[in-house]
Structure 1
């Protein structure tokens, strides 16, 4: 896949009076790196039961990778009241792909497991983030109206953990749990910190050394106390999904633990972004197809996970290396043009027949904006 040097806002008409915006390689690199981490995390999950090394890598990934993805998505989100085109894109970019992929997953699970469980209110596996993006889009204009939206997002994230009745229905618990990261991404753009600090242009080696040191230190902590993390099931805390009671810590200070994990995720996300290449690389073009990887990789991993092959034949640590390498290959393949061409009707449906044509003949733009912002320029 090649990367066009210039790209206008999807659905917009190029105009001589309005110069096209140049893509910034940093963001595409960051998106692809994030999606590779997603595939890695899902690929090695079954190995964490038998391998301390796998659990260490898993915890290291889950400590920050979805928060980082949410930060990038928030950075490319607009807080203006949605117009007709923006509202239509919530349907074409999020709701329809969710319903399509959820239906496919229902049929797959019925064929493999023999259980027909039709319940679109309970997202299957990776689909929770798609719903989260839809909810973020809907509530961001309201958050933008109030003071200290980032503070309120943190309060909501910490507070929702005390509520047992907020669960995975429509992925609401997880959505509210990671809300601060999405709002942080949006605020970074409104504060213009990225431009002011020239974050996407360059990075010094001393700063990168500090970032590497942070990852090394966190990995060392995970290794040193791996039995503790396994006993308390720390990985579940990184999901931002269960209530504190459900995690076995229904105590008043449990919210402080989540607050600490939020702080850790922000710190490690910052370190991650420091290490992302600023120039165009082999992965830059793939960063525009993250939604294809996100929605399709689970179908590649599902038979591997269900067959139990990761617990047979080879040592778990050998499987760990194999799956980490395979995750990169899976992400690359699912980002290629042939895959996107075949699966575009499912991932980017364009049901123009679904919409009422307004009296002024305003055109609803085609569904070409990845919900994560991968097709959008700032």
Structure 2
């Protein structure tokens, strides 16, 4: 009897935990963005905004770093980096510029590939971070070095004017931390005592942010400017870098501790968070460009803030669904085989099964 040919190993399933985390994080991103036009005059909304802004992007970036651990700058990986990061950056940089020209009645607003508009900064930052992965995987004390670079960034006025380098440096420690994490670190968050401890941590953070909300400048949380540009003494930059990193790490751990491990109704949406991220900005910017809050002042009242919150969460949920991801794949996950050599395309295709099981954003 002729022995059967060995069957190929089945593709590894996506990890439900990380898809759940990505979806919940992108909901927080969208909701926080939607609060921006309606939080003036509301201490509670400003405090909630500050609390969420402390950790929502750090959580997203840590996960991005964790799933970039295997990046070695192989030709097939560079191809995916171009198709999954560079192409969406160019497309949405143009799209947001055109949208601002039309909706904000600013027809002369310039196109600029080196000055990311609104939320496109994350794509160019991810491109730089991922390219630097082999370096961070090679040096001693990578997190300490990344924190030092972030602190130095706060001492350099004007850095954010080119490719948003200020944000690239100030958020860099979270990406490097993600590169340094291993599965067992996330296993620790499953412990019952960690989950219980997360509740008073979140409650204490909420009380603290409500207390300091009127006095803290939000620019610190955006990480897009230096200390001097925030009218602060130079030493405040490195101090806030370390302080905010510690706060973000603590709140991210508390957040991740309560992310469901099992498959839920929203697990499938974790694969489409790049679509939710890139598209929800058009809805949020419409509130600003079209002056909807001025036209409907009730949106800034407590009931209106609740409506805005629910609408933002529902909208980004719809934008993460498989049909939207499929429709947008031509610009978020283009094949681009025509632009690369055949050997690179074959190598990329050969690894596609394995890559499909990983979350790279």
TM-score normalised to structure 1 length: 0.86
Alpha carbons of structure 1 residues 368 and 239: separation in structure 2 relative to 1, 3 Å: farther
Query: Among 303, 307, 319, which residue is 1:334 paired with?
Result: 319
Superposed counterparts of 1:103-182, under 5 Å? 103-112=94-103, 113=105, 114-182=107-175
Unaligned runs of 5+ in 1: 1-14
Aligned to 1:193: 184
Deviation of 1:374 after TM superposition, in Å, equals 8.8
Stretch of structure 1 that moved more, 162-171 or 123-132: 162-171
Deviation at 1:80, TM superposition (A): 4.8
- Kindly indicate which of the two structures has a greater share of residues assigned to helix: 2
| Structure 2 residue aligned with 1:7 | none
Question: Which residue number in structure 1 is paired with residue 207 of structure 2?
Answer: 220
Provide the rounded CA distance (Å) in 1 between the counterparts of 2:351 and 2:287. 32
Counterparts of 1:324 and 1:374, CA distance in 2: 32
**Residue 3 of structure 2 corresponds to which residue in structure 1?**
none
What is the CA-CA distance between 1:251 and the residue it aligns to?
2.6
* Aligned equivalent of 2:35: 44
Unaligned regions of 5+ residues in structure 2, if any? 1-5
Q: Does 1:319 align with 2:315?
A: no
Instruction: Confirm whether residue 355 of structure 1 aligns to residue 340 of structure 2.
Output: yes
- Partner Cα separation in structure 2 for residue 79 and residue 150 of structure 1: 18
Instruction: Tell me by how many angstroms 1:346 deviates.
Output: 2.0
Q: TM-score, normalised by structure 2?
A: 0.90
Encode CA deviations 1:196-232: one digit per residue, 9 max, x unaligned. Answer: x454xx442x432321211111111122233222xxx
Name the Cα RMSD after superposition: 2.4
1:207 equivalent in alignment to 2:194: yes
User: What is the alpha-carbon distance in structure 2 between the residues aligned to residue 51 and residue 102 of structure 1?
Assistant: 32
- Structure 1, residues 125-162: CA drift from partner, whole Å, max 9, x if none? 11000111111111110121111111101111111110
CA distance in 2, matches of 1:357, 1:100: 25
Q: For 1:348 and 1:182, locate their aligned partners in 2 and report how far apart those are by CA, in whole Å.
A: 22
Aligned positions, number: 350
Distance 2:85 2:158 in 1: 25
| Cα distance change on mapping 1:374 and 1:151 into 2, 3 Å | farther
Q: Give the whole-Å Cα distance in 2 for the aligned partners of 1:341 and 1:252.
A: 48
* Regions of 4+ moved over 6 Å: 366-369
